[in-house]
Structure 1
């Protein structure tokens, strides 16, 4: 709704200028009328409030403007006497009658009160656009997307511009998985981020911010940028909320509630939900094994069938205390419990060199998982004045337990695996913002992040004895201290933001069973620079640079073997080093009445980039060599790309959002390993250059009888790799929704992956084996949801009545 409202307000502004131009000239000199618009109770700025100047006792607008994110406005007008009206949706308008303006005039702070009558009416207002395009970020408004009703955060991210989610739940930005995911401005504390995102319900999410080139205010981690997931926080006066029930095929159902109760001093908010999800998947791997002379030795076809059941409860409760008009303190408790069952059946069919069937075996992996995550967060905001001078402090304490056990049976052997992970994290942060003069601002802050992960992983033989070469206990300790400062200022139509961040990192990676200890200490400076030029009120140009860091985490570092297949295994590398990226971005944004267009060209230069390599480890299973897939520091990667995002509203009943990304990646490096059988050193050349592209288009149409229909298509282009090729991937989703019960409720039906086509397909070519594989984590799904709202409008304007949690959230914008 915000983007459409913004376009409408721009049209009104243009109309005002046009009307004024038609008035008889009263002289070429104009004066400025300035001021600020705030919400009366919370003293927070109101963005997109309209200011209209009219001749006394006349409704014809002579001049006007809108407020920026800080609630500020500036209107140029000829000297004279005017009636001034200040208004915004869901607030009572304020009028200043017959104001005599002969020179530059500051109206000061105008406080608007909520309009209780409007808030309690359940009416359909102009909707906020699903995607808002800003100069330094893209904002995806979750509540306006029917595709994600009854879904998860992974479904949400898969609809965000510049972002894609593969079939295993891994998130990438502009084609790179080298990113940082934040929740309310803080890094996710989950051990397995991809799995955690699949368990968190979409109903708990307010919006998602995509920041491709963050400033020094943000963590340096995330070579390709940041994704900030902002959770819902109630803002309406009184008691209000939303209930959502959903069901689907394969068997899926869920129930969630979002409640809020706000008084003048206290704002209570809570979200709770339970979901049961069934994911059915499948895959194949067809391998051709080679002799030393390159001739065929044998063939092996693997057929995989998977079924994953997840049961999850997510709860969040908190309270915001408005201590006084300038001080806000928010405390919240988040709790997640997820459990599940996994069934992974692989059938092996063996063939000789002539493709004659020689026999078959099978392998069945049945496992159970259970995880608990609890987190306490606290956020304190102190506003020293109404000009943006403020201090914020944040604290986060969390503990995550993640257990999984599995029994592996098959034609030839029986094994069990035990995995127990415990992670503790503490994060503290403070940020200070000091406006120096109009258009200039100084910022500084500190952040400390301290975590400890203990991961016990054991593979047991049929007699219950530990298989030592497949088992280990990983202890991972990470302490990061960071300081930053940045200064932004504006000169005429140019805006500048320069920053510098320093991070000191101390990491211990210890394998307790084998007594292998690694310590990595390093500190780095991360400069950032942003320049924008305001071509007009409707168009801007920007250029930016930042240095970014990527630390290896999670499964990248864990040497425990993924034992789902005993001949194609994944194993982490505890000796990985961080990679450093220099990022350059040129951007342009243009707004018309019905169109918003944003394009950018970007270049990323990364040293010690992570890359996955495959090689035989020298072991044999039934005469078949075991292939290991593991990450290494390759060398250097250079990426150049072009991207554009387009929002188009041809009619009130039809909206289009599209995103396109084309890029070239050049990697240089090699991998050397020792052949266990011969003892020889084998060197793999990993030099590679490839082009790829990604496109997504979403259409939302209002059909007769007020039925909304949304259709989204996406395509990931093919890409050559150093050891093979990843094939292209196409997917399409659709959804229908209808408001019922006098618009207090909504019924939505969606189909995910209509053509059942979202499969990861790839070719791999090694000296010992050539293989083709495809995997589908989740097959086509159908989902039906019912949403009921009370004391809350369907498309309630997202007022700034409650301060944002998390010191990082919303920072780094250009001064204005």
Structure 2
């Protein structure tokens, strides 16, 4: 009740103040065509301080309206490709300044230079998130979203595609703010998104209640580009590389008064080499199993995207879009297995295991979105979206064993029929009560339906015999309903945002071959608090708290495993429970001359931690990893992000993350997993502007060695290099990118228990890619040129 009265009093006070607010309005048109210009930037500056007060962009009809308490002002109007206008004398009548129609003239020189904009990635801080604006980083030529994420502060991606945020597993990946099977970390789905499709990546380590509560480490939201400049815009790109990496992409966009039609077509072929090693020791008899292998994964991909925005009027727009992608995979590998008697160093058996895998992966997504803006307040909006997506995999593998010493195991083959469908319905309403107070509310319903049909056959007695112990059909259904509300105050110096979210989870899994079922239904409340204080123009402080959940995903629960390496396997656990995290952080933002520096400390307390636990079968020598719930995890960390312009032709940016962790957990009578440790990682990038329109970029990544529940993960370091050349006044761009320059990106880990020790390593090697792109159209369309490969 007291809180409600406080809000009412603040609202009434704000209304009283608003009576003396100056309203500035007008309309922007092209001086030549006299047609309205949309997205023109209009900024109000104070004549007393020469600092910006507020700003807005024009609507589809070219109109704008701003409100300010300051009376001594000037107005600045700017738009890419046009000359900037500054209105120093603003005439007022009854607290209204009507600037009428303002005509902008084209600036030919600026049109030639527009191609250099947005070429450098940058990070900006907002009240409850960090926004990494994706530029044309040179080493990202031909790269997928996975490689781009490796450039984002606080984010790391392993060679297997596992994504960690500040070193923590369990980050929720979103596409344009919504869940999608395309954002799944399984099946290389994120590999279908490429660097030049991405406008920005939002890293939300402490999400507000507006965002779904999934992801104990936080949320990574990938926002895709959509060109909406008037007229025809587009790009054509070609890429080639070593190992095998060839693609062609075409992007076209047509904007009229009522419609914005956008399309992308891409086709290509790429290869991912792989080298692996593993080592198992049976400590009960000292027997050893060694494996060493290499192989190639080849992909052909075809993609088409088509969508349209229909502007019903100035305040209502409907968007309908769809994407279809199809991949053809083939994978071949050779692995040698040696079984050694450790007591007398005798080679008991040795054989080669050859794999041939073929798969087809259809993927499609469709979305209907409706957005309503309101006449009296351009920040007020209602947004509804309905999203459907599907990912399938029809895969078959044959494993042939050839003896070198002794007798080889029987040949095997597997079959996988995987289907995942996901539907998301989302409604968001934003209502600014005043210039400083805003409320948000909404709801989201996510339905996920998965079936995985997996079978293993062994070649016995001249015929294929099904292995019932390794064959199963696993059904997974999870529905999550969430509702939320937030209230925010954001003044010139201080801001605060309070929120609460209620989510109900209904999960059902069935292992059809054994009729084993797991049904869970639970409801949880997730509060959030965020605040910021601007000490000065060069120093700000932010603080936040949120409660998060990590729900076990399909591969955590599914008993399916891959038999590529028979002696090191992973299987899911249908009985897993969700883990919960309370997350706190404090960040300071500094601007010191040419240096932008952000320092932060954070603390995460997680219960019912999900951790992979390895067990060893002494009779077969097989190590099996399975996720389990046990214990708590407390992590305290420090993080620094920095960017400095060293000279007019060189800049340096990077980040550093260090944390201490304390794990407590008793898995069973024989396994106490209490341990402490630390880990740190850093990224650094230096960019140079060279003569003759050349740009050079060098970046390095390092991750320290750290402890796990049963072993260690080794240190890892690698470097990337990129070179760019602009020709034909910047309309054509040539890119050369080298990822993992020294082929040093090797992922190694160990596990051990009372009766075993095992280690494994993987490496993919160096990638070299050359690309050429041509962008055409008006305004910022040139910034969107390059590889539209999915």
TM-score of the aligned structures, taking structure 2 as reference length: 0.88
Q: Quick one: which of 373, 383, 391 aligns to 1:392?
A: 383
Cα 1:573–1:339, aligned 2, differ >3 Å: closer, same or farther? same
Residue 179 of structure 2 is aligned to residue 187 of structure 1:
yes
Superposed displacement of residue 75, structure 1: 7.8
| Corresponding position: 1:340 with 2:310 | no
Structure 1's 511 and 535: CA in aligned 2 closer, same or farther, altered over 3 A? same
TM alignment of 1:375-524, pairs within 5 A: 375-385=365-375, 386-410=377-401, 411-462=408-459, 463-490=463-490, 493-524=493-524
Post-superposition offset of 1:194 = 5.6
Look up the match of 2:136. Answer: 144
Separation in 1, partners of 2:66, 2:645? 27
Question: What's the CA shift string for 1:654-707, capped at 9, x where partnerless?
Answer: 1211111001122211323xxxxxxxxx63222221100010001110112121
Distance 1:611 1:427 in 2: 29
Deviation string 1:471-530 (CA, Å, 9 cap, x unpaired) is: 110010111111101111146632111000000110001111111111010010000011
**Aligned to 2:576, what secondary structure does the other structure show?**
coil
2:44–2:74 CA contact under 8 A, matched in 1:
no
* Cα deviation, residue 285, structure 1: 1.4
Cα contact 1:607–1:635 (8 A) shared by 2: yes
Indicate whether 1:305 and 2:294 are aligned: yes
Between the aligned partners of 2:197 and 2:666, the Cα distance in structure 1 is 44
Corresponding pairs, count? 740
Q: Report whether the alignment pairs 1:237 with 2:230.
A: yes
Partner of 2:260: 267
3-state DSSP class of the match of 2:271?
Answer: strand
Aligned to 2:722: 735
Mapped to 2, the partners of 1:596 and 1:685 lie a distance apart of 45
Q: Post-superposition shift, 1:306? A: 2.2
Taking the aligned partners of 2:396 and 2:149, their CA distance within structure 1 comes to 30
Is the contact between residue 119 and residue 135 of structure 2 (CA under 8 Å) also seen in structure 1? no
User: 2:162 matched to 1:173?
Assistant: no
* Match of residue 772 from structure 2: 786
- Residue 810 of structure 1 corresponds to none
Match runs of 1:645-660 below 5 Å: 645-660=641-656
Matched, 1:155 2:141: no
CA contact (8 A) 2:293 2:335 kept: yes
Match of 1:706 among 693, 697, 702: 693
Shift of 1:192: 5.0
3-state SS of the aligned residue for 1:143? coil
Distance 1:435 1:39 in 2: 25
Q: Distance in 1 between matches of 2:250 and 2:314?
A: 30
Q: Provide Cα deviations, 1:710-737, integer angstroms capped at 9, x if missing partner.
A: 0110001110112111110001000101
Instruction: Please state how far the C-alpha of 1:351 moved relative to its aligned partner.
Output: 2.5
Shift in CA distance, 756/124, structure 1 to aligned 2, threshold 3 Å: same
CA distance in 2, matches of 1:760, 1:222: 24
Q: How far apart, CA to CA, are the structure 2 residues paired with 1:418 and 1:39?
A: 62
Cα distance change of structure 1 residues 139 and 112 upon mapping to structure 2, 3 Å threshold: farther
Q: CA deviation at 1:202?
A: 2.2
Q: State how far apart, in whole Å, the 2-side matches of 1:111 and 1:633 are.
A: 65
* Secondary structure in structure 2 of the residue aligned to 1:556: helix
**Kept after mapping to 2: 8 A contact 1:387/1:435:** no
User: CA 1:129–1:248 in 2, change beyond 3 Å: closer, same or farther?
Assistant: closer
C-alpha distance in structure 1 between counterparts of 2:748 and 2:317, whole Å:
51
Gaps in structure 2 of 5+ consecutive residues: 1-19, 30-34, 59-64, 402-407, 785-790
Judge conservation of contact 1:133–1:596 (CA < 8 Å) in 2: no
Contact map agreement 1:51 1:87 (CA 8 A) in 2: no
Supply the distance in 2 between the matched residues of 1:235 and 1:70 (Cα, whole angstroms): 14
Structure 2 Cα separation of the partners of residues 37 and 281 of structure 1: 61
Query: CA shift at 1:382, angstroms?
Result: 0.5
TM-score, with structure 1 as normaliser: 0.85
Structure 1 Cα separation of the partners of residues 426 and 642 of structure 2: 36
Superposition pairs of residues 277-292 of structure 1, within 5 angstroms: 277-291=270-284
- Picking from 735, 739, 748, the partner of 1:752 is 739
RMSD between superposed Cα atoms in Å: 2.8
- Structure 1 position 344, deviation (Å): 2.7
Contact 1:34 1:75 in 2 (8 A): yes
Kindly provide the CA deviation profile for residues 71-90 of structure 1, in whole angstroms up to 9, marking residues without a partner as x.
Answer: 997889785xx764433434
Shift of 1:404: 1.3
Matching of residues 480-629 of structure 1 within 5 Å: 480-490=480-490, 493-617=493-617, 620=620, 625-629=621-625
Tell me, in whole angstroms, the C-alpha distance in 2 between the residues paired with 1:228 and 1:42.
Answer: 33
Structure 1 residue 89 corresponds to structure 2 residue 80 = yes
1:213-246 C-alpha deviation (Å, 9 max, x unpaired):
1110101001111111111201211001111111
Question: Which among 352, 355, 362 is matched to residue 352 of structure 2?
Answer: 362
- Decide whether aligned partners of structure 1 residues 372 and 395 sit closer, same or farther in structure 2, where only a CA change above 3 A counts: same
Which stretch has the larger CA shift, 182-191 or 701-710? 182-191
Residues 49-85 of structure 1 show CA distances to partners (whole Å, capped at 9, x for unaligned) of 544577xxxxxx9734164578997889785xx7644
Distance 1:468 1:184, change over 3 A: same
The alignment partner of 1:195 has SS state of helix
The within-5 A match list for 1:49-88 is 49-51=42-44, 63-65=50-52, 67=54, 84-88=75-79
Distance 1:738 1:32, change over 3 A: farther
Cα contact 2:455–2:467 (8 A) shared by 1: yes
Q: Structure 1 residues 290 and 76 mapped into 2: Cα distance closer, same or farther (>3 Å)?
A: same
Over 3 Å counting, the alpha-carbon distance change for 1:36 and 1:284 in structure 2 is farther
In the TM superposition, what whole-angstrom CA distance separates every residue of 1:80-131 from its partner, at most 9, and x where no partner exists?
A: xx7644334345645546335799x554798878866668646444546412
What is the CA distance between 1:180 and its match in structure 2?
A: 0.5
Q: Which residue of 2 aligns with 1:19?
A: none
Does structure 2 conserve the Cα–Cα contact (< 8 Å) formed by 1:38 and 1:46?
Answer: no
- Provide the rounded CA distance (Å) in 2 between the counterparts of 1:110 and 1:437: 25
- CA distance change for structure 1 residues 84 and 166 in 2, over 3 Å: closer, same or farther? closer
Cα–Cα, structure 1 residues 84 and 210, in superposed 2: closer, same or farther, change >3 Å? closer
The Cα offsets for residues 446-483 of structure 1, whole Å up to 9 and x where unpaired, read as 11111211110111111333211111100101111111
Alpha carbons 2:734, 2:773 under 8 Å: kept: yes
Gap change, CA 1:795 and 1:173, over 3 Å in 2: farther
Relative to structure 1, the CA distance from residue 124 to residue 432 in structure 2 (aligned partners, 3 Å threshold; closer, same or farther) is closer
Deviation digits for residues 304-345 of structure 1, max 9, x if unmatched? 212111111222110011110111111100111112111232
1:786 shift after superposition: 0.5
Helix, strand or coil for the counterpart of 2:574?
coil
Cα distance change, pair 412–541 in 1 and its aligned pair in 2 (3 A): same
After superposition, the Cα gap between the structure-2 partners of 1:445 and 1:109, relative to the gap in structure 1 and judged at 3 Å, is farther
Aligned residue for 1:693?
A: 680
Aligned match for 2:208, one of 215, 223, 236? 215
| Most deviating of 492-501 and 151-160 | 492-501
